A and B are shown apart, each in its own frame.
Chain A
């Protein structure tokens, strides 16, 4: 190998690392190091003025598993995920099929579906507060019109979580619709023509041809929706604050509460590690199984 080639390679390596360094430093500071530090601090007891923190092994984790609130919050978050993911995907698909077909007022329809996406979750929560407020709220007024009794949607354990779920679906369905719209536009016209010649109904065409072809998009959206079911908790701060009686408390909100309201950083750290482990499994599944099956490169 000539000197020239060796030099060129060395120079590329140096340039490469210099260009990466800002990203590497920031990612280390705000992602990798904090992950390790979180794990480390989850192994120690809480530091108080009288007692220094001491090594506890996995005791913080066993504390969590013994805590009924933890299980309540996990159950809530699973309900949240299993309600928001399929419902928002189904609505997104319907929206995309409609927004892609020749209907009157299509521009308005598309805009209406997508608008919640550009609103902050906090603002969305304020808008919905107007719906949910007992007595004065829009829902109660509609109910009152039909002679139904007033319902405190956010104030009773049976409905609080569902009220939160509805806001999330409203917020994310339009966003997912965009991905379906893009995918729909890549489906060749001649498939539709062939289906027409064969005498397929529109419904059969949608079910047998369109939905299978949208499968990669659906998987992509599912991963996004799953991440959102961990991430989207801002509206809790406005609507329910996790209550009543923890009925609508979700994991990330619980982490925030433990760390910044109860100042119990070690247990918050343990809970963070559990979440990261779950997200890691999702990432593993996505990168190994899903990316091999679907080719959206």
Chain B
């Protein structure tokens, strides 16, 4: 009785896994076959790179890749700077008003930047940042989530190290830079993975604040490319989709363990 139920469960798990990857597999298949072969599921049909060719010339993909890369880098650097300082202040410095400000920061966890698109658009335009990569990135730099994460990481670092550094005559910034930042490295790595994959995939806000191929990230470029008005066929859309998810997907498959650890570390307080 027992082994049988075990087999049933294993079978269920594997069937679910196959269902879960099937959209990706089908798109992969379609990307390498002509449209008629793709939709007829002709297993013996020849593989082709033609879809990638026509997708590649159909839009400035290289520009989009560079934009996305710059965007996630700018956001990540900004987030590291802002959340390190704020996280340290909340974790280790005692000053009046701290707890009140911390509650304000926590509130931002629920004031989603996505919901405030109208006013944030007005703000970015007012600052002259419309259609710039900085304009896309700036609203995400002071992430309440990141501040909270850094505060937790810094709180877990033994106070003796802090005191030892002070006795040695280290300044506050010195202590932060030489004691806290190196010891919180796993948290930084985890935060980086989560941040990069979030912003690599972000769509609505970049759609609103970008207006030219010079700033548009991949997701926005992909949505424009695949728009039904453009009449692109399904194999070419699949090729474009594969192309734009490839870097993150390959990175994920190689560093799977780190990715999963990262999501865990950042997800559970």
Please determine whether B86 and A98 come into contact, CB atoms closer than 8 angstroms.
no
Contact A230 B264 (CB under 8 A): no
Q: Which residue of B lies closest to A203 (CB)?
A: B5
Instruction: Give Cα A86 to B244, complex, Å.
Output: 31
Instruction: Answer yes or no: B189 CB below 8 A from chain A CBs.
Output: no
Known: A118-B248, A126-B241, A287-B106. Contact between A108 and B23, CB under 8 A? no
Give chain A nearest CB distance to B4 CB in angstroms.
12
- With a cutoff of 8 Å between Cβ atoms, the chain A residues found around residue B138 in the complex are 26, 29-30
Contact present for A123 and B256 (CB under 8 Å): no
B260 cross-chain contacts in A, Cβ below 8 A: 110, 114, 178
Residues of B within 8 A of A255 (CB): 115, 117-118
Contacts of B108 in A (CB 8 A): 27, 31-32
Residues from 95 to 146 in A contacting B, C-beta threshold 8 Å: 95, 98-99, 101, 103-105, 108-124, 126-131, 133, 136, 138, 141
Question: Which residue of the partner chain, among A32, A113, A227, contacts B20 with CB atoms under 8 Å?
Answer: A113
Q: Which residues of A contact B197 (CB under 8 A)?
A: 117-118
CA distance A234 to B218 in the complex (A): 14
> Chain B contact residues: over half helix, strand or loop, or mixed?
helix
Task: Give the residues in chain B near A110, CB-CB below 8 Å.
Answer: 260
Residues of A within 8 A of B12 (CB): 94, 98
Check if A118 sits within 8 Å of B252, measured CB to CB. Answer: yes
- Point out the residue from B89, B240, B267 that lies within 8 Å of A20, measured CB to CB: B89
Interface residues on B, range: 35 or more
CA distance A105 to B10 in the complex (A): 9
In the bound complex, CA of A287 to CA of B240 (Å): 43
B-contacting residues, A214-238, CB 8 Å: 220, 227, 230-231, 233-234, 237-238
Q: Give the CA-CA distance A164 to B115 in the complex, in Å.
A: 20
> Beta-carbon contacts of B128-153 to A below 8 Å, as 1s and 0s?
00000000001101101001000000
- Distance between Cα atoms of A230 and B114 in the complex (Å): 9
* Pairwise interchain contact B252-A115, C-beta atoms closer than 8 A: yes
Establish whether residues A17 and B95, one from each chain, have CB atoms under 8 Å apart when the complex forms.
Answer: yes
Q: Is A187 an interface residue (CB 8 A)?
A: no
Q: Do residues B16 and A19 form an inter-chain contact, with CB atoms below 8 A?
A: no
Once the chains bind, are B204 and A115 in contact (CB under 8 Å)?
no
When the two chains form their complex, are residues B20 and A174 in contact, meaning their CB atoms are under 8 A apart?
yes
Q: Is the CB of A238 within 8 A of B264?
A: no
Q: Are the C-beta atoms of B238 and A22 separated by less than 8 Å?
A: no
Known: A13-B96, A131-B26. A30 touches B113 (CB 8 A): yes
13 contacts between A and B (CB under 8 A): A20-B85, A22-B82, A23-B83, A38-B118, A94-B16, A110-B260, A114-B256, A118-B245, A136-B234, A141-B41, A220-B268, A255-B117, A259-B117
With A24-B101, A26-B141 known, 20 other A-B pairs at CB within 8 A are A13-B95, A19-B86, A19-B88, A19-B93, A23-B147, A27-B108, A34-B123, A41-B119, A95-B13, A98-B9, A101-B9, A105-B14, A119-B245, A120-B201, A126-B27, A127-B24, A138-B22, A138-B26, A275-B115, A283-B109
- Measured CB to CB, the residues of A under 8 A from B are 9, 12-13, 15-17, 19-20, 22-27, 29-35, 37-38, 41, 91, 94-95, 98-99, 101, 103-105, 108-124, 126-131, 133, 136, 138, 141, 170, 174-175, 178-179, 181-182, 202, 220, 227, 230-231, 233-234, 237-238, 252, 255-256, 259-260, 265, 268-269, 272, 275-276, 279-280, 282-283, 287, 296-297
Interface pairs A-B: 7 shortest CB-CB: A26-B142, A16-B95, A34-B119, A120-B201, A112-B17, A98-B13, A23-B86
Q: Which of B's residues lie within 8 Å of A, judged by CB?
A: 5-6, 9-10, 12-14, 16-18, 20-24, 26-27, 30, 39, 41, 81-83, 85-86, 88-90, 93-96, 98, 101, 104-123, 138-139, 141-142, 144, 147, 172, 197, 200-204, 207-208, 218-219, 222-223, 226, 234, 237-238, 240-241, 244-245, 248-249, 252-253, 256, 259-260, 263-264, 267-269
